[in-house]
Amino acid sequence: MAERTDEQLLADYRSKGDRTAFRALIDRHHDDLLRFLRRLTGDHQMAEDVFQDAFLQVHLSAHTFDTSRTFRPWLFTIAANKARDQLRKKTRRNELELSAPVGGSDRPASFVDLMEIDLPGPDTATLDRERDAQVQQAINSLQLPLREILLLAYFQRLSYAQIADELEIPLGTVKSRLHSAVAAFARAWKTMQNNHPDGDKTP
């Protein structure tokens, strides 16, 4: 399976009903997609549910996939759409409310540094958990369209043109929305750092 591309695996699944090919796709994208969904939803259980919904949709829509395109952006776009639907249903969530500010540092980290996240485990260090919570608070402060494009850009590492194509929005909108998202994240992160009395002890 390792030598077959995502596109070949999906083609085998839809043409031959090869279940091992579909399982290989799930296993191959599990960690990255789950990290993306945890960041997007801010909720581990919701991320798990959306992950399952996304692959169910892949199963149902496999026959519509354009084999001249790349599977990964298609998968992440499906997952983002499913997550957006779930977040809109969760009316009790206030996306613009920040928890008590935490963090503070004289050594600012980049967005890419802060986006690193480990899947949950019982032995995760306390400082790592605190930092992860800070990043999630900053992300949660973004409006959903900004949060979505920021995370899609980070996890998919697509060009502006590719993002515009996948989200079906103008290129100019991608640039302005991504710029706004990065700026908003930076403001939220800086606020949390400046207001934490003890400072950020992470390296």
Given 59, 92, 125, which residue is the final one in a domain?
A: 92
Q: Does some domain include residue 114?
A: yes
pLDDT for position 115: 56
Residue 171 is encoded by which pair of tokens?
């290129």
Among 41, 53, 50, 32, which Cα is nearest to 156's?
32
- Same domain membership, residue 106 and residue 88: no
pLDDT of 190 higher than 70: yes
Degrees to nearest 5, angle at CA 28 with 26 and 29:
70
- Same domain membership, residue 181 and residue 112: yes
pLDDT for position 114: 53
pLDDT for position 32: 94
Q: Which residue has the higher pLDDT, 122 or 37?
A: 37
- Same domain membership, residue 79 and residue 163: no
pLDDT tens digits, residue range 73-97?
Answer: 999 999 999 999 888 876 443 333 3
Residue 153 CA, chain-centre distance (Å), reads: 9
Confidence of residue 107 (pLDDT cuts 50, 70, 90): very low
- Same domain membership, residue 133 and residue 45: no
pLDDT for position 160: 85
pLDDT tens digits, residue range 133-167?
Answer: 888 888 999 998 899 888 888 887 878 888 888 88
pLDDT for position 198: 55
Torsion of the alpha carbons at 113, 169, 61 and 84, rounded to the nearest 10: 60
Among 102, 99, 154, which Cα is nearest to 127's?
102
pLDDT tens digits, residue range 5-54?
Answer: 999 999 999 998 899 999 999 999 999 999 999 999 988 999 999 999 99
For residues 137 and 96, the answer to whether their CB atoms sit within 8 Å is: no
* CATH code: domain of residue 63: 1.10.1740.10
By residue count, the chain amounts to 203
- Same domain membership, residue 108 and residue 88: no
> Which domain range does residue 49 map to?
1-92
Q: Where are the alpha helices (DSSP H) in the chain?
A: 6-16, 19-41, 44-61, 71-89, 111-115, 126-140, 144-156, 160-167, 171-195
Q: At what angle do helices 71-89 and 144-156 cross, to 10 degrees?
A: 150
With a CB cutoff of 8 Å and minimum separation 6, the contacts of 160 are 171, 174, 175, 178
Q: Does some domain include residue 35?
A: yes
**Phi, psi torsion values for 48, nearest 5 degrees:** -60, -45
pLDDT for position 87: 85
pLDDT tens digits, residue range 61-77?
Answer: 999 998 888 999 999 99
- Same domain membership, residue 83 and residue 11: yes
pLDDT for position 104: 42
pLDDT for position 65: 92
pLDDT for position 35: 93
Given 92, 113, 138, which residue is the final one in a domain?
A: 92
Q: Does some domain include residue 97?
A: no
For residues 135 and 114, the answer to whether their CB atoms sit within 8 Å is: yes
